[in-house]
Amino acid sequence: MRLYHYAPKKNTILKQGLYSFSKSTGNLKSYAFFAKTTKKKDIIAWMDKVFPGCSRSISCFTEPVKWRGNDKFLKKTVKNTVLFSFELNDLIKAGLVESIWCRDDLSHKGRKYVLDDGYEQYFYKVKPEKIDTSPIPWDKAKKNNRTGQLRHYMIVLKNGVIPPKYLRLEKSDFGGWLYNLSLFIKRLFAHKKR
């Protein structure tokens, strides 16, 4: 089963792999706001209260985002990121997956986690064969909200990283094509310097 992950355009994913929050050295800002701390170890502890291994998980969809003109965050996601995919079965066979959780705030199914601002998130554990691959209701996205309210999956990784060999950069849009071209040019010049 192929799953999809959106990442910032500037990244090292094809060289170093796709990092979960626990392995990332990136910006803590969005999580620090919710966790009420800027210390990474405390943010990790807060995340792992949501569900076991949350800080070692990678968020993904069962299909690429289909922006319907109804949500600015979805538009921003498609415009300002690049799309990667991976084959879940390959990760499972390699022993990289610890568990899989679904977040689907529209269903109100599973464990409810309430943020300080009253926003409710719903998570439930699933087996790989129970992943729902039916079309995601992109048109249900509330204006200016995050994609988190729509059904997506959190793949908890034993070591918090998907190695590059399991990842594929999708070429579904102009941004992805441009990104691939920039990677090619960088590799070409790096090779000439040797």
Instruction: Check residue 65 and give its pLDDT.
Output: 87
State how far the Cα of 84 lies from the Cα of 170, in Å rounded to an integer.
5
Separation between Cα atoms, residue 35 and residue 56, nearest integer Å: 16
Q: What is the mean pLDDT of each run of 10 residues along the chain (194 residues)?
A: 93 94 81 84 91 95 81 77 96 98 86 73 93 88 61 96 96 53 63 54
The answer for residues whose C-beta is within 8 angstroms of residue 56's C-beta and 6 or more apart is 20, 21, 22, 23, 98, 156, 157, 158, 159, 160
Type of residue numbered 47? M
Instruction: Give burial (CB, 10 Å; 0-12/13-18/19+) of 181.
Output: exposed
Phi-psi label, residue 5: left if phi above 0, alpha if psi -120 to 50, beta otherwise: beta
In which element (H, E) is residue 147 found?
Answer: none
Could you please report the per-residue DSSP string of 56-111?
GEEEEBSS-----SS-HHHHHHHHHEEEEEEEHHHHHHTT-EEEEEEE-TTTT-SE
Q: According to the model, what pLDDT value does residue 175 have? A: 46
Contact 83, 2 (CB under 8 A): no
User: What pLDDT shows up at residue 24?
Assistant: 87
In angstroms, the CA 142 to CA 137 distance is 11
